Structure 1
């Protein structure tokens, strides 16, 4: 048997398709960030790099890349040989975050109104307000929170300014973390739902000034309500 015959007689081992490390790191980042923002990993939660890799069924390399990115965003602290720890959000942090959201989301609302979009383009906003209203009727706060998040996400998508959208989404996610902790501690969000409906009406009318003021009033009220609750409960960190 010649050398070529010997080579051809060996079975070919199947190879699993390789997944680019960057894609795995993105998946690790997305999963870990969601766990933090949804308080599955609450403030103070600690885990080693190996523990996280095991939980996500990944190697350590993409997990390490994701940890560095989350640390840059201020969500965790990474300590060599000790792993990571989820950092808390203080009421002072929340106050500053709501100041940013109040200003930039008001601008986003004005931009959407100025675009003169028809009802088909505004359908995601309209459907989100309807979902919020329906969720309140059946006392489903989790469904309400999902619809509320969809509303704000679509508002930013429709504003046409990707830089503004990116900044707001980063801080909106952090506010989401505090809001989910206090979701069932706050009054039923009837006011919030009505304010979203009023904002959609202003946008449909093409009234940028009214849309901006409506969103500004909504954010200020929501921020005051949240901060007052944190103070009343004595919550110094979330």
Structure 2
């Protein structure tokens, strides 16, 4: 009986591992727009394209549906959810609120922790500058995401990171889809450095306002841009 139980346990672990792998692969493909918004396919087709098994893809899709990235359509397959301009506006409201709070909290940390975080934020900003100089917009987008992820994950409030995760995935997809349309990418670097400098020096009010202004500026630039080029969804 003990041996049989061990076999069942190992099988369950393998199944969970396959689902985790399918979830990671499908989520990455959605975030990087390998599967564009509005794309619809069966679990079997997605499994074939991702090189994974069909059953784990269905289980992974259930998790992604909870995160708002896909919709499972009975007998019709899996639909990659699109973001309307109103969705983008709502996502930015969440980002503005949480990241402003995260920057304020980070600036209130003990000095040693503030300096380490500020240095790491500056490294992400340096990577953005290098990518932009090289014309590598994909690398720029990933470095930009790294800055914002570090800010929230390291501010000392673990709930912030959990709350923001879903909209982060959605905002990253919007970021990657609109990079070539946005005229003021260099502005982000200066705004990031204003946030990290305020954190480094423990200026909580300035850190909060710098993070808030940065996201507001990005929102106010992106939404009219989406409208001007006639994008109905991302």
Shared fold (TM-score, shorter chain, > 0.5)? yes
Would the aligned equivalents of 2:118 and 2:197 in 1 still touch at CA under 8 Å? no
Partner of 2:230: 234
- Aligned mates of 1:163, 1:94 — CA distance in 2: 22
Kindly indicate whether the alpha-carbon contact (under 8 Å) linking 2:47 and 2:53 is maintained by their aligned counterparts in 1. Answer: yes
Structure 1 stretch displaced more, 130-139 or 165-174: 130-139
Match of 1:11 in 2: none
Contact 2:153-2:160 within 8 A present in 1 as well: no
2:155 is matched with which residue? 159
Once the 2 structures are TM-superposed, how far is the Cα of residue 89 of structure 1 from its aligned partner?
A: 0.4
TM-score, with length taken from structure 2: 0.89
1:81-128 CA deviation, whole Å, 9 max, x = no partner? Answer: 221111210000000110110011100111111103433343321211
Consecutive unaligned residues of structure 2, counting only runs of 5 or more, are 1-9
- Which range is displaced more, 23-32 or 50-59? 50-59
Report Cα offsets for 1:176-227 as digits up to 9, x if no partner.
Answer: 1111111011114111110001111100010111000000000000011110
Shift of 1:235: 0.8
Instruction: Give, in whole Å, the separation in 2 of the partners of 1:175 and 1:190.
Output: 19
Higher mean C-alpha deviation, range 120-129 or range 180-189: 120-129
* Displacement after TM superposition at 1:139 (Å): 2.9
User: Residues 71 and 78 of structure 1 are in contact (CA less than 8 Å); yes or no, is this contact kept in structure 2?
Assistant: yes
What's the offset of the Cα at 1:76? 1.5
1:216 aligns with 2:189: no
CA distance, structure 2, for counterparts of residue 112 and residue 38 of structure 1: 29
Distance 1:237 1:34 in 2: 19
CA RMSD of aligned residues (A): 1.6
Output the CA distance in 2 between the equivalents of 1:157 and 1:24: 27
TM-score (norm 1): 0.88
Unaligned runs of 5+ in 1: 1-16
Count of aligned pairs between the two proteins: 222
User: How far apart, in 2, do the equivalents of 1:95 and 1:48 lie?
Assistant: 31
Name which of 129, 142, 146 aligns with 2:142: 146
Q: By percentage of residues, which structure has more helix?
A: 2
